[in-house]
């Protein structure tokens, strides 16, 4: 894939972030998500790829745009495309931190076509790569990661989705002495943050969406991190979909290379609301200008770029006169 593609993908995530950021805190997650989807889909028309969406907004009969199997791009290298135009719809609707727009691209056949079901995940940064085992206890993993990072377990910060299903691992983390950051939604950004030293995140644990797991894996492949996962089907239909993928055993451990193959992966994300990894969209100049904060990375070169961009907005805002 051409090096110039990295910046083209940033423009795609910037478009999605700018389109939905004005809806932060307005309580309408569907509207925010639709604006992000529309903007991202339009932006793909300018990108020189022959892309097939493998992680997207749903099946063809569920999503009008960016559905699984949709072709995107203006023509070029044949690639798999994974997208989440608004990762954290509830976060935007409630004005909470951590919402991002995300894209990952890899050569055709390199991204796991993960069905929309739950996935158990453990993710760490480069220092702890090779030191995790999803089949072992939470306590054992905390000790291994702490040793690899030359820290005490009490120095570790673990991000976990605040869900009832995580009660046991939260309790085990606390008993082991680790610090915990509970989040309400969106586990892609914390997985990426675990790979970047000054975010303060050491580890992601818990069960979240399988599509988000593939997106996170793409970023970790670029950053030299590590991830293990297991699909967690809840219905017979989900079990059948998993088995159709060739995964017969629900307890089969998926390694990073199972989730994201190859050595030429590109990952891009733009902040929508402030988070550990990225700052959210800022408006200024009487609402006519906006500033975005993005990250883009490529596994082949190991380059990671944080990009701050200023955008002149097309529409002038309407200001009602106050009598």
Q: In the prediction, which pLDDT does 78 show?
A: 96
Does the pLDDT of residue 241 top 90, yes or no? Answer: no
> Can you say whether residue 27 is alpha, beta or left, with left for phi > 0 and alpha for psi between -120 and 50 degrees?
left
Per-residue confidence at 322, pLDDT binned at 50, 70, 90? very low
- The structure's pTM equals 0.92
The neighbour count for residue 256, using CB atoms within 10 Å, is 19
Residue whose C-alpha is closest to residue 5's, from 107, 86, 84, 111: 107
Q: Which domains does the chain have, with CATH numbers?
A: 5-111+265-312 (3.30.540.10), 118-259 (3.40.190.90)
Does the pLDDT of residue 130 top 90, yes or no? Answer: yes
Mean pLDDT on 48-70 = 90
Helix axes 167-176, 138-148, angle to 10 degrees: 50
Burial of 135 (C-beta count, 10 Å sphere; 0-12/13-18/19+):
exposed
Does the pLDDT of residue 320 top 60, yes or no? Answer: no
User: Rg of the chain's alpha carbons, rounded to an integer?
Assistant: 19
Ranges of beta strands (E only) in the chain are 49-55, 71-72, 77-87, 100-107, 118-124, 157-161, 179-183, 203-209, 226-232, 254-255, 266-271, 282-284, 289-298, 303-312
Mean pLDDT on 193-197 = 92
Does the pLDDT of residue 88 top 50, yes or no? Answer: yes
Q: In the prediction, which pLDDT does 1 show?
A: 55
The pLDDT tens digits of the residues spanning 158-193 come to: 999 999 999 999 999 999 999 999 999 999 999 999
Mean pLDDT on 294-321 = 83
**Count of alpha carbons within 13 Å of 235, Cβ hemisphere only?**
6
Specify the residue for token string 């770029």: 305
**Residue 53 and residue 37 in contact, taking contact as beta carbons nearer than 8 Å:** no
Does the pLDDT of residue 316 top 60, yes or no? Answer: no
Per-residue confidence at 247, pLDDT binned at 50, 70, 90? confident
Mean pLDDT on 268-276 = 96
Task: Give the CA distances from residue 154 to residues 20, 151, 162, 169, in Å, rounded to whole numbers and listed in that order.
Answer: 38, 8, 20, 16
Q: In the prediction, which pLDDT does 246 show?
A: 79
Q: Can you name the residues that pair with 161 across neighbouring β-strands?
A: 183
> Please, what's the b/e burial string for 207-236 (b: 16 or more CB within 10 A of its CB; e: otherwise)?
bbbbbbbbbbbbbbbbbebbbbbbbbbeee
Q: In the prediction, which pLDDT does 116 show?
A: 87
Q: In the prediction, which pLDDT does 87 show?
A: 96
Mean pLDDT on 103-129 = 95
Q: What are phi and psi of 294, to 5 degrees?
A: -130, 160
Distance, CA of 45 to CA of 35 (rounded, Å): 16
Q: In the prediction, which pLDDT does 3 show?
A: 67
142 token code pair: 């905390």
60 token code pair: 């063809």
The neighbour count for residue 6, using CB atoms within 10 Å, is 20
Average pLDDT of the chain? 93
């Amino acid at each position: 894939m051409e090096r110039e593609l990295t910046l083209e993908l940033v423009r795609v995530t910037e478009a999605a972030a700018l389109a939905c950021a004005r809806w932060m805190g307005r309580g309408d997650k569907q509207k925010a998500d639709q604006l992000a989807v529309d903007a991202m889909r339009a932006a793909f028309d300018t990108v020189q790829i022959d892309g097939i969406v493998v992680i997207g907004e749903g099946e063809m009969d569920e999503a009008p745009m960016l559905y699984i199997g949709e072709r995107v791009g203006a023509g070029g290298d044949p690639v798999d495309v994974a997208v989440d135009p608004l990762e954290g719809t509830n976060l935007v609707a409630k004005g909470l931190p951590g919402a991002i727009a995300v894209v990952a691209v890899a050569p055709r056949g390199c991204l796991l076509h993960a069905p929309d079901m739950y996935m158990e995940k453990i993710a760490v940064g480069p220092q702890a790569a090779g030191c995790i085992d999803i089949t072992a206890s939470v306590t054992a993993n905390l000790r291994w990661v702490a040793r690899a990072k030359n820290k005490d377990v009490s120095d570790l910060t673990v991000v976990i989705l605040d869900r009832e299903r995580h009660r046991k691992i939260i309790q085990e983390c606390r008993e082991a002495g680790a610090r915990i950051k509970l989040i309400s939604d969106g586990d892609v950004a914390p997985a990426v943050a675990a790979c970047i030293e000054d975010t303060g995140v050491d580890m992601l644990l818990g069960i979240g969406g399988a599509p988000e797991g593939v997106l996170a894996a793409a970023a970790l492949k670029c950053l030299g991190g590590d991830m293990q996962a297991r699909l967690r089907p809840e219905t017979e239909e989900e079990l059948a979909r998993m088995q159709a993928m060739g995964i017969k055993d629900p307890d089969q451990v998926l390694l990073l290379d199972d989730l994201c193959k190859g050595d030429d992966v590109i990952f891009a994300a733009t902040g929508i609301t402030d988070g550990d990894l990225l700052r959210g969209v800022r408006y200024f100049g009487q609402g006519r200008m906006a500033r975005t904060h993005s990250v883009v990375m490529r596994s082949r070169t190991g380059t990671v770029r944080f990009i701050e961009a200023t955008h002149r907005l097309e529409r002038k805002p309407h200001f009602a006169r106050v009598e």
